[in-house]
Amino acid sequence: MPSELTRQVFAAVNAGDVTALVSRFLPPDGRIVFGNAEPMVGPAAIKAGLKDFYGTIKGLHHTVVNEWVVGPDTILELSVRYDRLDGRSVTIPAVTLLHLDDQGRIHDYRVLVDLAPVYT
């Protein structure tokens, strides 16, 4: 069963609520990194980057397969359904790493996923 933080974070992510994700869960110097892409650092960059990403899909839904919490770090094995703009859906595995700061906010949010099936 996912932790409360994980449930709340992915409720915002699955809803495409970028503002809630940034304002409720990340500090001002928080960062999000997708794979080997450049990090998005700070609220403005994260909001812009995520809004751009959400514009390339119709929607998405994360299912937590496994969760490991070790101190301030959470490792998540996920199954993610992406709803494509062409009406098709594809489900792919992903791993997300979260590192919390001293106030319990996500300072470092890393997503490891091969998005090729979403766009091919």
* Tens digits of residue pLDDT in 25-68: 999 999 999 999 999 999 999 999 999 999 999 999 999 999 99
Q: Is 89 exposed, middle or buried (0-12, 13-18, 19+ CB in 10 A)?
A: middle
Provide the b/e sequence for 91-111 (b: ≥16 CB within 10 Å): eeebebebebeeeeebbbbbb
Which residues, other chains included, contact 54 with Cβ-Cβ below 8 Å and sequence gap of 6+?
A: 16, 18
Residue keyed to tokens 């709340």: 8
Boundaries of every domain in the chain: 4-119
CATH 3.20.20.140 for domain 4-119, yes or no, is no
Please write the tens of the pLDDT for every residue from 80-109: 999 999 999 999 999 999 999 999 999 999
